Amino acid sequence: MNVLELVRPDLRGFGGYLSARKQNSGGAIWLNANEAARSQPFDTQQLNRYPEPQPQALARTLADYYGVDPAHLLLGRGSDEAIDLIIRALCIPGSDRILIQSPTFGMYAVCARLHACAVIDSPLQETAAGFVWDISGMIATARREQCKVLFLCSPANPTGQSLPRADLERLLDGLAGQCLVVVDEAYGEYSAQPSALALLPRHPHLAVLKTLSKAHALAGARIGAVIAAPELIAVLKTCQAPYPIPKPSAALALQAFSETALAATRAGIVQCLQERSRLQKRLDALPMITQVFASDANFLLVRCTDAETLAATLLGEGIVVRAMRQYPALQDCVRISIGTPDENARLLTLLENYPGDAHA
Ligand SMILES: Cc1ncc(COP(=O)(O)O)c(C=O)c1O
């Protein structure tokens, strides 16, 4: 199957905006983009010039890092932008549908709504061991509802579990020719499950989202990537803003791939996993916490006797956690990001001395 068959028919062959920087390169005197000829005295990066639409050095570095050819990768403003671009390029507003598995990351449904696409839900199932995907149900629902895109977050936010490789293969086989399967690996670095990237050569209807916002500690730089079949990447590019990646962000992101920075990233992941297991054990022993879900990500989802009061009490002490009130299945839960060892110690001290009547 050619993945272009999933693209909106009116966008097949669409060239997108031809920016000055795309139209011509090279030359020494640039009089083609109506930029200021002068730069600011404080500017050390020639920010009077528009940036490269896809900063080549960063694109090549990320492609190498993820082990793919650069033609398979599109840089964007976080994986949030990739989610938006995929829906924009594939879904006909007013008639196409996407499939999610609630409770899940909210941006899939938000972007669908912004593009006037319906959101079909094939909910996660709660078992004694935590939440799991219903692969057969997802395949059947996506086929019945003729969904164009299926978003699957693994490790899942906010529930924390990873999708086993065999289940992903079953899903991909079941939906070949039907829809694009987007695996959002924002938290992939914290999981022992292998990346879905290895499945790309055999499954042109797979796209994988990556981000520098989590393990690479660069959420403020807003750099993410979608990795998929080159034909699809070419289409997504035509739907993107002309100069999406600010030059300072690209330069900063490149530094995250020096040997030193990568060693620090690996050490950060190791520390996060140690802290996660320490927090998990200690939270499990607390009377106001009734369940700590297993997590493959950099957060823990916990079920409490009174989630709202717990979140408000912590906020009163300056600690901000996320109450999960927007998810019907998680009304009694809060999600706690793993902090530094000191921050986690402060959280535990507060919770271990939590006033008895606050959780009665
Ligand atoms: C599952 C998931 N995907 C994507 C994102 C967005 O990340 P980015 O900063 O790359 O836009 C988040 C952010 O929390 C997330 O949890």
Q: Which of 105, 223, 249 to mutate to test the pocket of ligand 1 (most atoms within 8 A of CB)?
A: 105
CA 162 to ligand 1 center in whole angstroms: 16
Q: What is the mean pLDDT of the chain?
A: 96
CA 157 to ligand 1 center in whole angstroms: 9
pLDDT of residue 23: 83
What is the SS3 string spanning 136-156? HHHHHHHHHCCCCEEEEECCC
CA 223 to ligand 1 center in whole angstroms: 10
In whole angstroms, what is the distance from residue 343 CA to residue 335 CA? 15
- Which residue intervals of the chain bear CATH 3.40.640.10? 3-257
pLDDT of residue 356: 67
CA 43 to ligand 1 center in whole angstroms: 30
CA 284 to ligand 1 center in whole angstroms: 27
pLDDT of residue 24: 82
Element (H, E) at 237: helix 230-238
CA 73 to ligand 1 center in whole angstroms: 17
Backbone dihedral region for residue 337 (phi beyond 0: left; psi -120 to 50: alpha; all else: beta): beta
> Quick one: tokens of 75?
């840089």
| pLDDT tens profile 52-72 | 999 999 999 999 999 999 999
pLDDT of residue 360: 43
Q: Are 310 and 146 in contact (CB under 8 A)?
A: no
Q: Which residues contact 264 (CB under 8 A, 6 or more apart)?
A: none
Q: Which residues contact 260 (CB under 8 A, 6 or more apart)?
A: none
Query: From the CB of residue 8, how many other CB atoms can be counted at a distance below 10 Å?
Result: 17
Ligand 1 atom index nearest CA of 187: 1
Fold of 260-359: Aspartate Aminotransferase, domain 1 (3.90.1150)
Low pLDDT (below 70) residues in the chain: 356-360
Residue ranges lining ligand 1, Cβ < 6 Å: 78-80, 105, 153, 157, 184, 186, 211, 213, 219, 224
Among 3.40.50.300, 3.40.640.10, 3.40.50.450, 3.30.360.10, what is the CATH number of 3-257? 3.40.640.10
In whole angstroms, what is the distance from residue 147 CA to residue 226 CA? 20
| pLDDT tens profile 266-290 | 999 999 999 999 999 999 999 999 9
| pLDDT tens profile 289-312 | 999 999 999 999 999 999 999 999
CA 326 to ligand 1 center in whole angstroms: 17
Which burial class, exposed, middle or buried, applies to 164 when counting CB atoms under 10 A from its CB (0-12, 13-18, 19+)?
middle
In whole angstroms, what is the distance from residue 218 CA to residue 109 CA? 25
φ and ψ at 326, to 5 degrees? Answer: -75, -10
Ligand 1 atom index nearest CA of 156: 1
In whole angstroms, what is the distance from residue 158 CA to residue 153 CA? 9
- Which residue intervals of the chain bear CATH 3.90.1150.10? 260-359
Ligand 1 atom index nearest CA of 214: 9
Q: Which of 80, 102, 222, 298 to mutate to test the pocket of ligand 1 (most atoms within 8 A of CB)?
A: 80
Residue nearest atom 2 of ligand 1, based on CA coordinates: 186
| pTM across the whole model | 0.96
